[in-house]
């Protein structure tokens, strides 16, 4: 495979990865938890394909366009991970609030009987 073909395939696969990451980001932002496994699976498949492509074509040059985009993808993945962590914390806090409310309701019901 020539360098141009390799670069073209890498760019194409990076585009797929960014698109899948965007879908993952939207799913998290919208708290669409039912859709999360499907979207995460699609993202994982794109990353696996990128890893396979990079393994067969050799390492990227750090300052090359593909190398820069790969670094940007890594930064964006970390941002999405932080976003998901924040959402998970919010969900955990909401569950705790609901559980506290349920315990108070149960206590009131017990006092009434």
Q: What is the pLDDT of residues 39-88, one digit of tens each?
A: 999 999 999 999 999 999 877 777 888 889 999 999 999 999 999 999 88
Angle at 32 between CA 30 and CA 35, to 5 degrees: 135
Tell me the mean pLDDT in the region 1-17.
80
The answer to whether 73 touches 15, Cβ cutoff 8 Å, is no
Q: Are 42 and 20 in contact (CB under 8 A)?
A: yes
Who has greater pLDDT, 4 or 28?
28
**pLDDT > 60? residue 2:** no
**pTM, two decimal places:** 0.78
């Amino acid at each position: 495979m020539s360098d141009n073909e390799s670069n073209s395939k890498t760019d194409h696969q990076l585009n797929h990865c960014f698109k899948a990451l965007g879908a993952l980001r939207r799913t998290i932002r919208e708290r669409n938890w039912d859709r999360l496994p499907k979207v995460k699976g699609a993202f994982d498949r794109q990353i696996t394909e990128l890893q396979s492509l990079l393994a067969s074509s050799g390492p990227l040059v750090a300052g090359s366009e593909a190398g820069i985009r790969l670094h940007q993808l890594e930064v964006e993945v970390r941002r999405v991970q932080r976003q998901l962590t924040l959402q998970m914390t919010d969900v955990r806090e909401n569950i705790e609030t609901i559980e506290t409310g349920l315990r108070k309701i149960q206590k009131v019901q017990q006092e009434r009987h």
